[in-house]
Amino acid sequence: MKTAVIAPVGMSPPAVSSFIDGIGEPISDLVILATQDDFVLAGTKFLDAGLSLRYQWLRIHPVILPFDDVASEDDTLRFMAEAARIFREERDEHKCDTIYLNITGGRKNMSVVLTLIGQILGADGVFSVVNPEIQHMNTLLERYRREIGMFDEVQSREEGIAMYEEHRETFDQILFPPRTSYQVVRIPTLPYPTNHIGYLVRTCFGTGERLAYSDAEQLIRHGILEKSGQEQNLTPYGRKFLSILLGKRNWNDQG
């Protein structure tokens, strides 16, 4: 049995490591989604080193996203395309039986997108880490921000592990706070019926089926369709969004 976790990382690497430490079941694969922001990249290598030392069986796959931030509608759609691709790879290529999503790190829109992806593609759980002592954690992160930032310069996992070991006692306090100091919270989700999603996507792309009136009205309200006389046409946003659900490699594919 293989269990994967997909998690974005932001300015607080413990959001990822405390979930792995606190979920209470063995994790075999971890996919870390990182933007190209310098501190985020450093935090990713910091996480890689600390988790590699603590969980030597854990397969860690950092995925560097092709942008510095997720700060626009296009960025959000590009992130959605990457997240959906990675989810499908974990299920289909890496044969993971269980896939959890940890939405604690990264931007809020990244968390929302991952939750939606989890419901549409069938994640086995969406979780968040809640730490009532977050101010103490932020103070600790700020105190050692320079040391963590230096991980951006390491060229290999082995080099990162060696750097981590020099300050392991301190770094472990950052990445692995006491399990009694935070809660892993399951986010309520409801899986989308795959046959209904398939019908919506097929019909919007003009396969000859006709949308029910109520479905068309919902898609218009959500900006996926727009009225053109008596017809409804895909908006540019709707075409991009539904292309992602179809699994097209290019999130901006207009075909």
pLDDT single digits (tens) 30-52 = 999 999 999 999 999 999 999 99
Give residue 254's pLDDT band: very low, low, confident or very high (50, 70, 90).
very low
* Closest CA relative to residue 234, chosen from 224, 222, 242: 224
pLDDT single digits (tens) 107-126 = 899 999 999 999 999 999 99
pLDDT single digits (tens) 52-87 = 999 999 999 999 998 888 889 999 999 999 999 999
Task: Please report, to the nearest 10 degrees, the dihedral formed by the alpha carbons of residues 194, 196, 197, 203 taken in order.
Answer: 140
Residue 230: predicted pLDDT: 77
Q: Domains in the chain, start-ordered, CATH in brackets?
A: 3-186 (3.40.50.10770), 194-245 (no CATH)
Residues 6+ apart with CB under 8 A from 137: 12, 14, 131, 174, 177
Contact present, 1 and 26 (Cβ < 8 Å): no
Given a cut of 80, whether residue 207 has pLDDT beyond it is no
Between strands 231-234 and 59-64, the pairing is unpaired
Residues 36 and 69: their CA atoms lie apart, in Å, by 7
Contact present, 60 and 16 (Cβ < 8 Å): no
